[in-house]
A = this chain, B = another copy of it.
Amino acid sequence: MSHETGAPQKKLIQTLNGQAQDIAPIWLMRQAGRYLPEYRKTREAAGSFLDLCYTPELAEEVTLQPIRRFGLDASIVFSDILVVPDGLGQKVSFVEGEGPVLEPITSVGELAKLELERVVPHLAPVYETLRRLRKSLPVETTLIGFAGAPWTVATYMVGGRSTPDQGAAKAWAYRAPEEFQTLIDLLTEATILHLSEQVEAGAEVLQLFDTWAGSLSEAAFRRYALEPAKRIAGALKAKFPHVPMIGFPRGAGPMAKDYFRETGISGLSIDTGMSLDWARRELQPLGCLQGNLDPLLLVAGGTEMRRGIETVLKAFSGAPFIFNLGHGIVPQTPPEHVTELVDIVRGWRG
């Protein structure tokens, strides 16, 4: 694999391997996105959102845009967590201003129509994008591959769209846990395949997004969030021992500690609502933390943003830490605030 060279490790990978840095590496969730005028231009030319994901030269272009502007330490391949259901054969589309729309799956009969072996061939363009990026990215920039975690992806597959209380998926999980487990198991397998192919194509770090983990009860969290993440992290580690994985069980609160300890991941991404004090004390001893500036501070800019950035830096410096947001960057973010953020992080001495 092209990434196994004798060159010194990149800064972000060193950090995930447990080495604290004087200057924290920085990247931003959804850094390739609508807040950038150059993204909106490419997006318009692409046709649909999925066309953009599946056209390697365009996906490569939008992935590179924030690297060109801000020189971030990592580049996350432009794709979406819903390419996996699309790969499995579920009908997925993105409606402007509405978000994703899927033909909901709510029975084992419909589940049976999904095809695991379809995922990798269908997602070939994503892997091609990664291969291109490994060549076009600056040598110091780490390439991140990613997937949605089974629970979060399942909420969209069952609900047919973003569901604020994840009611549809929970309804199925609670009514027929064995049936719902079949879906979670299928997604776990699909995620392992998809992440493995991303590593083969050049991803040096992986991130698993469990955006809707926070509303799960303790028992459901263990079953639908922690256990699948453990299986996924274990499978990837067995195949690619040198590729660190970052988990993001958003809103998990104190259960983030069990998740970090038991899944075997190298890094934990924490959301904006997470206590810095608690995270520093209880989570950072377990590995590298990543986060957690409020994306809305990046919209506001000014004194509050600067103070917020410094608070995060102070909380986590001196131990392995990657600067990031607590959730994805939002479309109304002025790009110049990102420039300022990067300057502050790079200029900060703890």
Contacts and interface: CB of A to CB of B under 8 A. Distances in A.
B299 A215 contact: no
A221 to B, nearest CB: 7
A272 B164 contact: no
Interface of A is mostly: helix
A175 B273 contact: no
Interface string A162-200: 001111001101110100000000000000000000000
A243 interface: no
A179 B305 CA distance: 16
Residue of A221, A255, A295, A296 with most chain B CB atoms under a 10 A cut-off: A296
Interface residues of A, number: 50
Contact of A294 (B217, B278, B292): B217
Interface string A95-117: 00000000000000000000000
Contacts of A296: 165-167, 170-171, 174
Interface stretch (A34-42, A131-139, A246-254, A339-347): A246-254
Nearest to A305: B174
Interface in A53-101: none
Number of copies: 2
A217 B309 CA distance: 11
A29 interface: no
A235 interface: no
A44 interface: no
Contacts of A286: none
A311 interface: yes
A311 B219 contact: yes
Interface of A: 164-167, 170-171, 173-175, 177, 214-221, 251-255, 258, 272-278, 282, 292-297, 299-300, 302, 304-305, 307-308, 311, 326-327, 330, 332
The 5 closest A-B pairs by CB, nearest first: A253-B253, A174-B300, A254-B278, A170-B296, A254-B275
Given A174-B297, A177-B304, 10 more contacts: A165-B295, A170-B294, A174-B305, A175-B300, A215-B273, A217-B273, A217-B311, A218-B274, A251-B251, A253-B273
